[in-house]
Amino acid sequence: MGLDRAAQCLPAATRTSRWDPGAVRRDFPALQQEVRDAPLAYLDNAATTQKPQAVIESIARYYRKDNANVHRAVHLLSARATAAYEGARAKVAQFLNARSAAEIVFLRGTTEAINLVANGLGLQAEEEVVLTHMEHHANIVPWQLQQARSGATLRVLPISPRGELELEALQGLLNARTRLVTVSHVSNVLGTVNPIRALVNIAHERGIPVLVDGAQAVPHLEVDLQALDCDFYCLSGHKLFGPTGIGVLYGKAERLGVLPPYQGGGEMIRRVSFEGTKFADPPQRFEAGTPHIAGAVGLGAAIDYLQGLGRAAAAEHEQDLLRYAAERLREVPGLRVIGESPDKVAVVSFVMEGVHAHDIGTVLDHKGVAVRAGHHCAMPLMDFYGVPATVRASFAFYNTREEVDRLVEGLHLAREMLA
């Protein structure tokens, strides 16, 4: 391959001497469009990220050439599909620094991963699960369902007004009945980066496993699972510049080995008879039926793309956007930022006096600025701050300062129109 052709296969940012969001944006077809007669300013990355052409093409190429079921045939297409599927698993393991690809389970996303663990634990009436006040509904409702089934108790680790865990309170919540601690690595509303290793150390001193919701962390942070030492970690591909409908549950081998199957069917068995079934070892034990093969292929392509970017430079750019946004938002009268931890990713949530978040979102949309307005699947957190909803602007490495300026201009307009 010639040097020119090789350069074309790299993310655009690697073709420049410094971080150039304008160059990176050319890798993302959706960012090239206009909405409402204005260039799209996509600031809803915490909900889902846009997809680079490399990911889109990898999925199309799989369906054009390699479409077959995995693990079940000896013909060439099945062999190629299986190699791509299991290759994606190996990429995820390397990306997260898991000990083995066998610790990586493919599922639909973070929500299904948490449900798998919640169902597999087999909670009893006398047992307890500790979660935090900043959790997404996906890390609350599955535990409430298990609480209703078993009579187990849920205990909540509080947060400070700045949006940080009151970690010193954790010791008082743990006891001999605690079965699991579960926590977001990064808050989807506040952007707060939680001290996972410190929390894991406290729990492990008592022999208590920890599940981490990493959906909002992996797009921004380099995650090292062996350094974090958590027992379970989950993520969603669509927040990592990959496809929807694919996600990951990481579990330490010794933890996955004792979990029962979450669903039954083909692929997850060793032998079936009418007298009983012997199940496969993890990860196949938890992947019943035909998996989302194209989704796994696309997730692998997203990881390849990210690793070619230079993640440190991408993170530095995102932090610059966060600082710039914080400065510009202070110019808007009546605006209050929710959650002001000094350790956060490029997410900012806010309210405006006298104007509902949904109305702000509508005004911004008519200016081509896409944000999220609502409770962000975190109603207990909204209750803590005493607000019904917030506006959330969430940034990725392809966003620009000019888009922040357009956000602020739209907020001034919303205030003039509605306050």
pLDDT bucket at 143, cuts 50 / 70 / 90:
very high
Q: State residue 13's pLDDT score.
A: 45
Q: State residue 1's pLDDT score.
A: 31
Mean pLDDT over 368-397 rounds to 98
Q: State residue 200's pLDDT score.
A: 98
Mean pLDDT over 255-260 rounds to 97
Each residue of 18-56: pLDDT tens digit?
A: 789 999 999 999 999 999 999 999 999 999 999 999 999
Q: Is residue 189's pLDDT more than 90?
A: yes
Range list for CATH 3.90.1150.10 in the chain = 16-45+311-418
Active-site positions?
377
pLDDT bucket at 10, cuts 50 / 70 / 90:
very low
Q: Which of 127-136, 207-216, 225-234, 305-314 has the lowest mean pLDDT?
A: 305-314
Dist. CA 407–CA 402, nearest whole Å: 9
Each residue of 108-136: pLDDT tens digit?
A: 999 999 999 999 999 999 999 999 999 99
Spell out the CATH class of 59-307. Answer: alpha beta
pLDDT bucket at 72, cuts 50 / 70 / 90:
confident
Note if the pTM is more than 0.85: yes
pLDDT bucket at 73, cuts 50 / 70 / 90:
confident
Name the average pLDDT for the chain: 94
Q: Which residue has the higher pLDDT, 310 or 127?
A: 127
Q: State residue 419's pLDDT score.
A: 79
Dist. CA 395–CA 403, nearest whole Å: 10
| Percent of the chain predicted with pLDDT > 70 | 96
Each residue of 148-157: pLDDT tens digit?
A: 999 999 999 9
Mean pLDDT over 198-205 rounds to 98
Range list for CATH 3.40.640.10 in the chain = 59-307
Spell out the CATH class of 16-45+311-418. Answer: alpha beta
Q: State residue 16's pLDDT score.
A: 39
Q: State residue 9's pLDDT score.
A: 38
Q: State residue 57's pLDDT score.
A: 98
Q: Is residue 316's pLDDT more than 80?
A: yes
Mean pLDDT over 386-411 rounds to 98
